[in-house]
Amino acid sequence: MSGVRRLSAMSADLARARRGGAFGPDERDAAARILAEVRREGDEAVLGTVRRFDDPQARGSDLLVDARALRRAARRITPELRTALDLAYRRIRAFHEAQRPRTVVRSDRDAMTRLLATPLGRVGALVPRGAAGYPSTVLMTGIPAQVAGVRELVVASPMTAGAEVDPALAYALTLVDAQALYRAGGAAAVGALAYGTRAVPRADKIVGPGNAYAAAAKWLVSAEVGIDALQGPSELVVVAGPDADTDALRLDLLAQAEHGSGAFAMLVSTSIALLRAVAAALGTDEGAARVFLYHAPSLRRALRAANDAAPEHVLLAGRDAARYADAIDRAGAVFVGMRSAVAFGDYVAGTNHCLPTGGTARWASALRVDDFMRWTSRVEIRRPARLAPAGAAIARHERMRSHADSMEVRG
């Protein structure tokens, strides 16, 4: 953890923490090499990365777990965790049900035009792994796919040593009707889903978070397969008033650092006393190395700095900061008030925790049902004679004579 710094230092610290965005040139080059190997060698290349990073004894037959095997593994889940995942599923499902797309129709005497939503056919979802599996991310990627009506969902998640299947992960996969679990992560998993292998067909779209290598790989394959947002290492900016709770802030900041390599958290406050108290509370905790503290001359400046950072998460801590939720319009998710720990959004609030990182919240959004749909325009001209003269005039100006003729012949 750095000491308390002036707010003017935040921009440079942010650039260093992000290393250029959701990924840097080193991650991009490494991801490109892995993708090329997977394109050439398929499952064999993926198996090589699994043996290198996850399980040295992994076999090719361990890569794919089908729906029947997932149901068997899911039976070993503890009752307490099953109840918790059921509650999370209900809340996330309810929020995403409200996002169901609606057909857009405009009709007049001359034409009927529609915009129609169609579910994607096959989606691959990335679910990273830390010290344990992440069933929460299965729910976050799988539920909007389920609500959208996606025909086939394959989840890719790193293999555990010994090739055991985490019962909680398996149970979450059964809740979202996943067809299979492909046990690989990072750039190798992205390559398998993008290009297809013997074990897993190519996807129409790849969604979900990962490390910087996975984010780089998604970007590299985006000309050949759909992707959602670039969801690299996790990040948090907290704007705190002087009434914010020191102990709760310490836990919020450490929770963010818990996401591991590349994750960071920034606390901005007008109160030097609060910043010093948080620094003391963090002490020498291992996660404190990824926490940055800044003193802002005013709450307005603090809010502007958070918005300019366009981070994955913003927490407005304390009554003064919470009043300005509308001032933050460039973040993946905003948590309002001292009660609203960011961790609730990771599990049971109902919103999606797959969020844009690396400053991409300037244009990208949280994962949602619309990410699993494609839209088609449908046109039915009723009275071509009324529309052809205007269309033909524009076409002839653009030197598109056949365009003009094709409309006028129908008039």
Give the residue numbers marked as catalytic: 312-313
- Backbone φ and ψ for 5, nearest 5 degrees, come out as -120, 165
Q: Which of 135, 384, 341, 134 is nearest to 255 (CA)?
A: 341
> What letter would DSSP give residue 202?
P
- Backbone φ and ψ for 381, nearest 5 degrees, come out as -85, 130
Strand 111-119 versus strand 373-381 pairing type: antiparallel
Give the C-alpha distances (Å, rounded to integers) separating 113 from 143, 148, 366, 381, 387: 31, 23, 29, 8, 14
Residue carrying the six token digits 């965005």: 21
Residues 15 and 164: beta-carbon distance below 8 Å: no
Residues 169 and 64: beta-carbon distance below 8 Å: no
The CA distance from 117 to 236, in Å, is 34
Using CB atoms within 10 Å of the CB of residue 272, give its burial: 0 to 12 exposed, 13 to 18 middle, 19+ buried: exposed
Residues 315 and 321: beta-carbon distance below 8 Å: no
Residues 125 and 208: beta-carbon distance below 8 Å: yes
Residues 194 and 42: beta-carbon distance below 8 Å: no
Buried-state track 107-121, b at ≥16 Cβ within 10 A, e below 16:
eeeeeeeeeebebbe
